[in-house]
Structure 1
Amino acid sequence: MSSLPIVSITRRETLSSSHRLHSPFLSDEENKKIFGKCNNPNGHGHNYVVLVTVKGPVDPHTGMVMNVHDLKHYIQAAIMEPLDHKNLDRDVPYFKNVVSTTENLAIFMWDQLQKVMEKPNLLHEVKILETEKNHVVYRGGTTYPRKKFDKLSLHPNPNQHNVSSDSD
């Protein structure tokens, strides 16, 4: 039995969304301190570049890991329709009690893709370019023990600048 080569395919899409970085679990003062200008009550917007990568064996009959038309359809249904030209905090129920950081946006996209893909095991990576300098990558399945996380400080050092992702 011969083995099949493993290949990755990445599709790039761009979407525009607005949001406000604001945690319902923190005071207004804490939110302003942690999120800085990204906590503006009027929100702000991004033209996100999203790269979705699937990875798997090349089918010897079709020569493909996945038909790119199918990948385009999955991205349209899971990402573009629910997120493009939307206010993430107001228009996407997932973000009602989840801070709409790019990290959480990547997790949301991954979960949505998993729901619509015929072969979700081929999903390898969701990468979001929030700005030219800030990128987030999520590959699913990796978790961090909550007990260890709870021991970490959730607030930045008071002598440190805010951690808003738009600051660079």
Structure 2
Amino acid sequence: MNKRVAVFRKEHFNAAHRLYNRQWDDATNFRVFGKCSNPHYHGHNYELEVRVTGEPQADTGFVMDMKVLSDLIQQYVIEHFDHKNLNLDIPEFKDINPTAENIAVVIYNLLRPHVSEKQELRIRLYETPRNFVEYPA
């Protein structure tokens, strides 16, 4: 019998960014990214869901201690991203566009080393209440 269970932790952070391609002129960036290419940046109140899936441990009954998961998210995501300009302050976005898709991948890569290889990790990131991405898909 498969006893795999998914546990979730929700967090939020606020960050600014600008979507643009350095190789394009402003008109092309605006055509592709619209208002999101504003040279003065814009912000979002991101909602983050982190899902860890695995078998509950025999001794604790936990898939993962939720306090440990919360602390990992605080240390590696919230402290890293909250109230930052993603384009200017976050080294991971030096050479990649900070789209929701890329932010989710970066968050996954920041957390993956700290979650057991036996457990599946999935990131869901809401940029707005209606727009969200999930990684891995």
| TM-score grouping bracket, smaller chain normalisation | over 0.9
Gaps of at least 5 residues in structure 1 are 141-168
Structure 1 residue aligned with 2:19: 21
CA distance in 2, matches of 1:27, 1:139: 32
Larger Rg: 1
Question: Which residue identity lines up with residue 23 of structure 2 in the other structure?
Answer: F
Question: Which residue identity lines up with residue 130 of structure 1 in the other structure?
Answer: E
- Kindly state the Cα deviation for residue 119 of structure 1 after the two structures are TM-superposed: 1.1
Runs of 4+ aligned structure 1 residues displaced above 3 Å come to none
- Kindly state the Cα deviation for residue 121 of structure 1 after the two structures are TM-superposed: 4.3
2:108 pairs, out of 107, 110, 118, with: 110
TM-score (norm 1): 0.77
Does the CA-based 8 Å contact 2:13-2:78 persist in structure 1?
A: yes
The 1:134–1:6 alpha-carbon spacing in structure 2 relative to 1, beyond 3 Å, is: same
CA distance in 2, matches of 1:66, 1:39: 39
- Kindly state the Cα deviation for residue 97 of structure 1 after the two structures are TM-superposed: 1.4
Structure 2 residue aligned with 1:86: 84
Aligned length: 137
Structure 2 residue aligned with 1:139: 136
1:97 pairs, out of 95, 98, 113, with: 95
Identity %: 36
CA distance in 1, matches of 2:106, 2:133: 13
Structure 2 residue aligned with 1:124: 121
